[in-house]
């Protein structure tokens, strides 16, 4: 056996060598992605962008060339025949954003691909393992089915009462397959949300398909490969259809039905037979419908499920649906159906309760240990008709009952009615709640700890960052940031998951996006959302404050720091992922916004057109004048526009926007900045934006920074900024020579601070600095979420300055790294890793005695600059030798309190004397 394996591997090696006909590289290619996704199905992008990651055992490795093969079958690919695209050997170090350049791709087309690379010496790697993608239905005329459902009554708008929506509907049809199947793919969408079933079970664990867009502008569809499930003979295809974003309660509006009230469903199952023929099964008037156990299903209100009404076996071919009715057929929507090229929403984690208690007889409260978004799986044993009611809450009242007042009009209640006869397990499918506590009433007997399991629901964006340090408080802060990101990245970036709101607030998203990128790979997520932002743009160019726009949403848009997401989001996706396409796609839209702002503000001070003008939302004791915020953001937008124009080769426009930046900057200085560096309003956020957005003359920057620090000191070393200043505070302090003040703010435990909620038990980021205080208890119930990520935007500083992992904007997409750990505060060690689009970046440092040690790792095909804090003249070693003489290291002149080195790709181990505190 062993002998044959050895012979086999020798043979494989020999063949590979023969194929390449060249010297083999030790570099390896892996991690293939297409449109940021791994082996996606049903792409809508006609020229998808490919990416890969390189790994090499040696320092200074660079890709000098690459070759991509895309084939229409695995067999052809195995023979190295790229019948769809053979890029040939292309010179260069590009490993991401490589646009498919082969023959045009048809609807449903399968593409199998692999890539090989040449290293810096011109030696070739073996081909990567193969990956694949498939195309969706690219033309609206590809859809041949009818939209089906059950006619329902329009919502009751006679009074401001939240009457339940229609019962979810079960839809089914059978079809016969007569020949052996080669491939079966199903495309499906809805006005509503749906679960698709085939031959006895759901086709996937995706939730809330087709997810959220402005249904008046576009509707997404999902694609699933069901080859393994379709059988020769009788098959059954079905769906359960409920309200979701389309027709359920959205935000605080009194009536449901934001985009429409009549749910409907469309699917198309395409079967390719082994003999080369094809057959398509679609929704049409032969389908049948029924109502089932779900009596109500709504995101905010929850589900009511009567298990006695289950339609057992309904999704199997043997089922008798004689009692079901023919479906109602609806007009197709007049908007495009588009592929959902994003990781689906699904259950991403399971959580066991930490404690259970009984505040009142028969009322059981489970503490899930953390505040998250999702549902619970209920386990129960009782009589038919027993009714268990589950209510969800983020916090407890002093008497240990659940505190639900802050949910406003979200009923957030699930009801389960037992069928009896043994153990029953149930989990809701068409709702989610934001909660740490679950209250059970009506539970037959006494529930044990395993009666409830928490199911965390979010868009399944891959985890990108890990961060751990010697401070348990900072670790808790980081965990809370990540948790609030999960809880609010449910199809679109939302403000909160619990109350009657849950909207795509753009201010929150733009403040947090850079932090979001450190935690998860959100490239596809924000690429999709940017389309929502463009869809929500007003005809006069004004960006909205909420995206997607929804039915009865009022308001035009324009708020500073909210509408600017239209510029900040493409910029950040470009910066972090090296993505230029997002700039090109939305360029005209961004220009329309810039024109809109200028039109109303010809003297370069943004006095007009500021929409709802939220200001430095939720500031504490330091209200920044709104005109200052708006003018500062305008300048920032102009600067980013100029940078983005440069990135995509729009030189004229780059110049134009840089000039606009200078004009706004000059107006800002004239209006708000005194000769001695005071920024009008004298607020932290005013100084922060002026400094971060580079709005002051260079000569006044140190003075303004000192005034900022004075302000912080006058507040006894506390921050006072709201959403708009909180992101900049620690980066600005660090950049301008006050890292010690940044550390002090970070580790302050008294109100207002990042640690104050943690001291008070927070497991998520709160909406307000004072969501709960010892003195006053809960804040106003009108607006008091305990799961809002905005104030967690300090996360990017934890990565960039505490771990020391950042990008150099000169090579977007982490092609070039900025490694600048800044030991400080109480922290003695950090271990961090960030999976960049170029591969993992590692920074582990520790201070032991007088010595700072740093292990850093830069992925192959990148380079970086390291700033190592150490005393002047100190000896720096790398792997035990003089660092300056080490391979891949180039010593540069010292800057400030750091020794500076340029590093080639690879792993390094530095040691130097630590700076004295």
State the residue for tokens 């068409």. 430
Residue from the set 265, 614, 634, 908 that interacts with ligand BGC by CB under 6 A: 614
Q: Beta-carbon neighbour count of residue 701 at 10 Å?
A: 17
Asked whether the beta carbons of 115 and 52 are under 8 A apart, the reply is: yes
Cis bond leading into 210, ω under 30°?
yes
Residue 246's nearest CA partner among 202, 218, 224, 213 is: 213
Size of the site for ligand BGC (CB under 6 A): 10
Q: Which is nearer to ligand BGC, 315 or 501 (CB)?
A: 501
Q: Segment near ligand BGC (CB under 6 A), from 333-341, 503-511, 588-596, 802-810?
A: 503-511
Residue among 483, 447, 478 nearest 374 (CA)? 483
Q: Which is nearer to ligand BGC, 722 or 824 (CB)?
A: 722
Asked if 45 is part of the footprint of ligand BGC (rule: CB under 6 A), the reply reads no
- Report the distance separating Cα 95 and Cα 124, nearest Å: 15
Query: Contact with ligand BGC (CB under 6 A): which of 214, 460, 508, 622?
Result: 508
Write out the two tokens for 206. 């995706």
Residue 496 in the binding site for ligand BGC (CB under 6 A): yes
**Residue whose token pair is 């990148």:** 862
Strands 345-351 and 402-403, by their bridges, are: unpaired
**Does residue 512 belong to the site contacting ligand BGC (CB under 6 A)?**
no
Q: Which of the stretches 28-36, 57-65, 243-251, 502-510 binds ligand BGC when contact is defined by CB under 6 A?
A: 502-510
User: DSSP string covering 257-284, please?
Assistant: -SS-S--EEEEEEEEEETTS-EEEEE--
DSSP assignment of 348-379 equals EEEE--SEEEEEETTEEEEEEEEEEEEEEEEE
The residue (of 743 and 786) whose beta carbon lies closer to ligand BGC is 786
Chain-centre distance for alpha carbon 12: 41
Quote the least distance from Cβ 545 to ligand BGC, whole Å. Answer: 7
Question: Which residues touch 136 (CB under 8 Å, ≥6 apart)?
Answer: 41, 42, 43, 44, 107, 108, 187, 221, 223, 339
Catalytic residue among 35, 61, 653, 767: 767
501 touching ligand BGC, by CB under 6 A = yes
* By the rule CB under 6 A, 619 interacts with ligand BGC: no
Candidate segments 240-248, 287-295, 494-502, 693-701, binder of ligand BGC by CB under 6 A: 494-502
Per DSSP, 592 falls in state H
| CA–CA gap between residue 595 and residue 782 (Å, rounded) | 36
- Least separation in angstroms between CB 560 and ligand BGC: 11
Out of 85, 505, 687, 738, the residue judged to bind ligand BGC by CB under 6 A: 505
What is the distance between the alpha carbons of residues 685 and 629, in angstroms, rounded to a whole number? Answer: 8
The answer to whether 296 is a known catalytic residue is no
Does 536 bind ligand BGC (CB under 6 A)? Our answer is no
Question: Under the criterion CB under 6 A, does residue 617 sit at the interface with ligand BGC?
Answer: yes
Measure the CA–CA gap between 288 and 170, rounded to whole angstroms: 8
Least Å distance between CB 201 and ligand BGC? 38
State the binding string over 768-797 for ligand BGC (x if CB under 6 A, else -): ---------------x----x---------
Taking CB under 6 A as the rule, which mask of x and - marks residues 454-493 in contact with ligand BGC? Answer: ----------------------------------------
21 Cβ contact partners less than 8 Å away, ≥ 6 residues apart: none
Q: Could you say which of 35, 174, 501, 833 is catalytic?
A: 501
Q: Are 562 and 503 in contact (CB under 8 A)?
A: no
Residue 825: count of CB within 10 angstroms of its CB: 21
Q: Which stretch binds ligand BGC (CB under 6 A): 112-120, 155-163, 283-291, 495-503?
A: 495-503
- Rounded to a whole number of angstroms, the minimum distance from the CB of residue 505 to ligand BGC is 4
Please list the helix, strand and coil fractions of the chain in percent, rounded to the nearest 5, in that order.
25, 30, 45
- Residues whose CB is less than 8 angstroms from the CB of residue 621 and which lie 6 or more positions away in sequence, other chains included: 715, 720
Only segment of 316-324, 504-512, 668-676, 893-901 that touches ligand BGC (CB under 6 A): 504-512
Six-digit token string for 263: 């749910």
- Work out how close the CB of 629 gets to ligand BGC at its nearest, in angstroms, rounded to a whole number: 12
Tokens read off for 850: 């007088």
In angstroms, give the least distance from the CB of 878 to ligand BGC.
Answer: 46
Shortest reach from residue 615's CB to ligand BGC, in Å: 8
855 is catalytic: no
> How far is the CA of 670 from the CAs of 594, 628, 663, 686, 695, in angstroms?
21, 12, 11, 15, 11
Q: Which of 55, 174, 303, 495 binds ligand BGC (CB under 6 A)?
A: 495
Per CB under 6 A, 507 contacts ligand BGC: yes
- Residue 511 makes contact with ligand BGC by CB under 6 A: no
Q: Cite the active site residues.
A: 501, 767
Binding site for ligand BGC (CB under 6 A): 495-496, 501, 505, 507-508, 614, 617, 783, 788
């Amino acid at each position: 056996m062993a002998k044959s394996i050895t012979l086999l591997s020798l043979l494989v090696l020999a063949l590979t060598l023969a194929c390449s006909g060249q010297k083999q590289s030790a570099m390896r290619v892996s991690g293939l992605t297409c449109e940021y996704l791994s082996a996606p199905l049903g792409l809508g992008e006609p020229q998808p962008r490919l990416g890969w990651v390189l790994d090499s055992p040696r320092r200074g490795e660079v890709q000098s060339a690459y070759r991509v093969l895309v084939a229409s079958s695995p067999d052809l690919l195995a023979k190295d025949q790229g019948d769809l695209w053979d890029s040939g050997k292309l010179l260069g170090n590009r490993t991401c954003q490589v646009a498919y350049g082969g023959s045009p791709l048809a609807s449903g087309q399968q593409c199998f691909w692999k890539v090989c690379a040449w290293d810096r010496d011109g030696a070739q790697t073996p081909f990567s393992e193969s990956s694949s993608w498939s195309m969706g239905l690219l033309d609206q005329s590809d859809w041949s089915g009818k939209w089906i459902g059950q006619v329902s009554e329009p919502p009751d708008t006679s009074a401001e009462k939240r009457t339940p929506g229609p019962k979810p509907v079960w839809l089914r049809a059978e079809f016969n397959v007569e020949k052996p199947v080669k491939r079966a793919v199903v495309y499906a969408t809805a006005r509503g949300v749906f679960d698709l079933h085939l031959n006895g079970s759901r086709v996937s664990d995706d939730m809330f398909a087709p997810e959220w867009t402005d249904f008046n502008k576009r509707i997404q569809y999902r694609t699933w490969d069901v080859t393994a499930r379709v059988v020769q003979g009788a098959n059954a295809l079905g769906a359960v259809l409920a309200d979701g974003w389309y027709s359920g309660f959205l935000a605080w509006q009194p009536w449901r039905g934001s985009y429409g009230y009549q749910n409907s469903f469309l699917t198309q199952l395409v079967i390719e037979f082994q003999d080369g023929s094809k057959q398509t099964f679609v929704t049409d008037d032969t389908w049948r419908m029924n109502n089932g156990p779900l009596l109500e299903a709504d995101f905010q209100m929850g589900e009511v499920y009567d298990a006695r009404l289950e339609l057992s076996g309904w999704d199997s071919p043997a089922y008798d649906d004689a009692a079901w009715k023919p479906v109602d057929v609806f007009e197709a929507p007049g908007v495009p159906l588009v592929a959902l090229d994003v990781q689906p929403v699904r259950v991403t984690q399971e959580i066991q309760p930490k404690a259970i208690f009984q505040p009142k007889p028969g009322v059981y409260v489970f503490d899930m240990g953390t505040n998250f978004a999702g549902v619970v799986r209920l386990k129960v044993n009782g009589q038919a008709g027993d009714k268990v009611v589950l209510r969800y809450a983020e916090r407890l009242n002093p008497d240990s009952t659940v505190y639900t007042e802050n949910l406003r009009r979200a009923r957030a209640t699930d009801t389960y009615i037992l069928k009896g006869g043994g153990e029953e397990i149930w989990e809701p499918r068409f709702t989610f709640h934001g909660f740490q506590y679950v209250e059970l009433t009506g539970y037959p007997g006494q529930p044990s700890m395993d009666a409830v399991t928490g199911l965390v629901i979010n868009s399944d964006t891959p985890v990108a960052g890990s961060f751990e340090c010697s401070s348990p408080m900072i670790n808790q802060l980081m965990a809370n940031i990540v948790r609030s990101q999960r809880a609010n990245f449910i199809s679109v970036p939302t403000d909160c998951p619990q109350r009657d709101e849950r909207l795509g607030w753009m201010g929150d998203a733009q403040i947090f996006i850079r932090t979001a990128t450190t935690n998860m790979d959100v490239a596809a997520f924000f690429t999709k959302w940017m389309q929502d932002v463009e869809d929500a743009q007003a005809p006069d160019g004004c960006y909205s404050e909420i995206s997607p726009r929804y039915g009865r949403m009022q308001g035009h848009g324009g708020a500073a720091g909210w509408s600017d997401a239209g510029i900040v989001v493409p910029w950040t996706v470009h910066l972090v992922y090296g993505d230029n396409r997002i700039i090109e796609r939305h360029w005209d839209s961004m220009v329309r916004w810039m024109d809109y702002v200028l039109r109303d503000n010809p003297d370069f001070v943004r006095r007009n057109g500021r929409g709802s003008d939220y200001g430095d939302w939720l500031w504490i004791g330091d209200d920044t004048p709104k005109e200052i915020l708006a003018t500062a953001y305008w300048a920032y937008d102009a600067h980013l526009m100029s940078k983005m124009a440069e990135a995509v080769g729009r030189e004229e426009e780059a110049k134009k926007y840089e000039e606009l930046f200078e004009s706004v900057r000059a107006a800002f200085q004239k209006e708000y900045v005194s000769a001695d560096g005071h920024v009008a309003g004298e607020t932290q956020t005013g100084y922060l934006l002026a400094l971060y957005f580079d709005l002051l003359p260079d000569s006044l920057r140190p003075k303004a920074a000192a005034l900022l620090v004075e302000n912080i000191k006058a507040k006894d070393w506390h921050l006072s900024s709201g959403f708009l200043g909180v992101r900049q505070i620690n980066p600005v302090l660090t950049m301008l020579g006050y890292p010690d003040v940044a550390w002090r703010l970070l580790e302050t435990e008294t109100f207002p601070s990042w640690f104050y909620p943690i001291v008070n038990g927070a497991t998520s980021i709160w909406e307000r600095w004072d969501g709960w205080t010892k003195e006053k208890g809960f804040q106003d119930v009108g607006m008091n979420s305990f799961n809002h990520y905005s104030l967690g935007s300090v996360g990017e500083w934890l990565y960039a300055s505490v771990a020391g992992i950042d990008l150099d904007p000169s090579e977007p997409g982490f092609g070039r790294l900025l490694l600048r750990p800044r030991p400080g505060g109480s922290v003695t060690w950090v271990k961090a890793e960030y999976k960049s689009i170029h591969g993992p970046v590692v920074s582990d440092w520790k201070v032991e005695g007088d010595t700072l040690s740093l292990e850093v790792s830069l992925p192959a095909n990148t380079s970086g600059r390291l700033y190592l804090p150490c005393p002047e003249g100190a000896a720096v070693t790398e792997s035990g030798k003089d660092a300056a003489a080490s391979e891949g290291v180039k010593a540069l002149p010292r800057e400030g309190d750091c020794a500076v080195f340029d590093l080639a790709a690879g792993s390094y181990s530095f040691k130097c004397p630590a700076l004295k505190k």
